[in-house]
Structure 1
Amino acid sequence: MNRRTLLLGLAAAPFARPALIPAAQAQGWPTRPVRIIVPFPPGGAIDAMTRLIAPVLADALGQPFVVENRAGAGGTIGTEAAARAGDQATLLMVSMAQAVNPALYPRLPYHNADLVAVAPVAVVPNILVVPAVSAIRDVPGLIAAAKARPGQITYASAGNGTSIHLAGALFSALAKVELTHIPYRGSGPAIADLLGNRVDSMFDSITSSAPHISGGRLRVLAATTSKRAQAYPDLPTVAEAGVPGYAVDPWFAMMAPKDLPEAARKRVEAAVLAAIRDGGIREKLAAIGAEPMDGDGSSLARLIDAETVKWGGVVKEAGIRAD
């Protein structure tokens, strides 16, 4: 039986809940297969990068690492499953939603304190795009149009509370303009209406917009990120283009239930950081628009705390509610 067959078999089988391992034995962790919960459906960037990293962790740590998708409620269902696992054989891949959801869902079935930061993984930049036929050619042009026609310039998103929505809400607040948010059930239908010139703009993921930019159907105006996107090094950031202080860095990272012993957490941290520094993995991440992050578990913990405060304020000010 080859490794692929073994991993597929493990993914299909129910996960037994093993006895807890003493912290003193954690240096040899893991002693059994480990699952990585992805709290979103298969097919997205978070799922793709988790499946890239899982085999590398298996090779480094000597046990199979099985990806398990537990989607629903903006990532909260899978996050709760990880927080309550209690088996010391569960990890969790999170997105920026980890910092947003406490404001979106006032009665979360878990607390951020139920999880510990393990390692940063990657940022997948969002980019501000408009239809190629649009008269809007740059960020100042978008701001001018929005000021000339308050509330009439629209931006599409993949749903309420997504990074695409929050990017537009932050833009409206910092540029002091009134853009109208049009939420869709997923990025696909939002992009379709943008391509059809039925909405004016979108702060879309670089992954889904790039083919339409190269195909000449979308015009890219700026990157939402705090530094220029590696895929478009000549493209200004929104802050550089005229909205000082603006930054939306859609990040992805590894976390674990708080009962994972520190020695075990350190082993995973080292393995994840080694994986994203590997040249082959970096090339594969770049193919999905992902840029490996610097830092470690401590810097990730600080990032989550800061982002929770930042996005909590944006959600409250904009009156955003979960779908």
Structure 2
Amino acid sequence: MALTRRALPLLPLLAVPHVARANFPDRPVTMIVPYAPGGSADVMARVIAPEMARLLGQPVVVELRPGAGGHVGGAYVANSARADGYTIILGSVSKATGPSLQSLNYDPVQGLTPLGGIGTTPVMMVVSPDSPHRSVTSVIAEARAKPGEITYGSSGLGTGSHLAGELLAAATGTQLLHVPYRGSGAVYPDLISQRLTFLMDAMGSSAGQVRAGSVRALGVSSLERSPIFPEVPTIQEQGVPGYEFSLWLGFFVRSGTPADAFVRLEAAHRAAMATAIVQERLRQTSAIAIPTDAAGFAAYFRADVARWAELVRRGSVKRIEGG
């Protein structure tokens, strides 16, 4: 079963042998979700957690530790959680962008070990249903006419919704004003009331808002139209050639986790990913498969780290000051 509990204050790391018991796990496993409640990561965690719990024979406890674009939870796992296999973290693209974009108090590459991928989904540009904008082209035209006046919200500095906007500004040569929030759910009230111009939100959390008529979708960030929203054109179709952005999700453990615990967790993750309920949730979010095995996901993660490092080196994306 999947449970939820409040994050406890950080405790000093106790020295423990890096040896897993033969019957791992013999107590609940904690799944850290380092993002705000109700977002796509939280929603996906609550689908996968009970499936992993069933396969592991122990509860998998979903614990929210949001903040700093996912880095509060990342630092907790890499620096404070025991490397015993009883803590895993659901990470996203910020784990790959952080080393190049921000000054962090942990190393996502050295401090965390990839366990397995979940999937990657595009984002949608959404606006208020009362917005005068009916296309991405319209938003870009106004941004060019009014530099620095077009606003977009995000889940926080360094999150996918922030980076999608940064890439759009770079690709169109426009100046967009970024307004960070604590999670995408907090953006919607201001977006709907038109205090913000647009939001680039993961399809997992934006799809429901679009279907409910709370917001209007103007474009998707994939190179091809989404099969679940075929009527929504891609951003590249609307005058931004080659624009593509996606948000991946995957699990990590603290580096140094015992091999036998790691193997058991990897097997449970891969089996959970193959279940009908998880596959249906991925389909609903128009997710594209990424490697679910540890070795394949590790290669995928390293490639994304290198890609963002190159974007920063070329000046396509600027480092986040104060981050």
Cross-structure match for 2:287:
291
Q: Which blocks of at least 5 consecutive residues in structure 2 are unaligned?
A: none
Aligned counterpart, 2:42? 47
More helix, by proportion: 1
**Structure 1 residue runs of 4 or more that deviate by more than 6 Å after TM superposition:** 14-18
For residue 85 of structure 2, what is the aligned residue in structure 1?
88
Partner of 1:197: 194
User: Cα deviations across residues 96-139 of structure 1 (Å, max 9, x unaligned)?
Assistant: 12112223431423442122111111334320122333333222
Identical residues among aligned pairs (%): 35
> Relative to 1, partners in 2 of residues 1:137 and 1:224: Cα closer, same or farther, differing over 3 Å?
same
| Alignment partner, residue 94 of structure 2 | 97
CA distance in structure 2 between the aligned counterparts of 1:211 and 1:176, rounded to whole angstroms: 31
Residues 64/197 of structure 1: CA separation in 2 closer, same or farther (3 Å cut): closer
When normalised by structure 2's length, the TM-score is 0.81
CA contact (8 A) 1:161 1:321 kept: no
**CA RMSD across the alignment:** 3.3
The range that moved more, 87-96 or 100-109, is 100-109
1:175 aligns with 2:160: no
Equivalent residues in 2 for 1:260-271, closer than 5 Å: 260-271=257-268
1:37-59 Cα deviation digits (max 9, x unpaired): 22234433222322322222222
Change (3 A) 1:233 1:260: farther
Q: Does the 8 Å CA contact 1:130/1:218 hold for their aligned counterparts?
A: yes
Distance 2:268 2:223 in 1: 27
Partner of 1:245: 242
Q: Is the 8 A contact 1:88 1:259 kept in 2?
A: no
Any residues of structure 2 matched to 1:116-135 within 5 Å, and which? Answer: 116-135=113-132
Out of 58, 66, 69, which is 2:61 matched to? 66
Count of residue pairs brought into register by the alignment: 314
Deviation at 1:91, TM superposition (A): 1.6
Among 9, 16, 21, the alignment partner of 2:19 is 21
Q: Distance in 1 between matches of 2:227 and 2:267?
A: 25
8 Å CA contact 2:154–2:179 kept in 1: the answer is yes
Out of 113, 131, 140, the residue aligned to residue 143 of structure 1 is 140
Instruction: Choose which of 32, 36, 40 in structure 1 pairs with 2:31.
Output: 36
Are the counterparts in 1 of residues 143 and 174 from structure 2 also a CA contact under 8 Å? yes
Deviation for aligned residue 1:63: 3.0
| Distance (whole Å) between structure 2 residues aligned to residue 168 and residue 8 of structure 1 | 32
Partner of 2:70: 75
Q: With structure 1 as the length reference, what TM-score do the two structures score?
A: 0.81
SS of the residue 1:318 aligns to: coil
The 8 Å contact of residues 153 and 180 in structure 2, kept in 1 or not, is answered as yes
Quick one: distance in 1 between partners of 2:211 and 2:83? 47
Runs of at least 5 residues in structure 1 that lack an aligned partner in the other structure:
none
> How far is 1:31 from its partner?
4.4
Tell me the equivalent position of 2:318.
Answer: 318
Determine if contact 2:36/2:183 at 8 Å carries over to the other structure: no
Q: 1:284 Cα shift?
A: 4.1
Question: Which has the larger displacement, 114-123 or 41-50?
Answer: 41-50
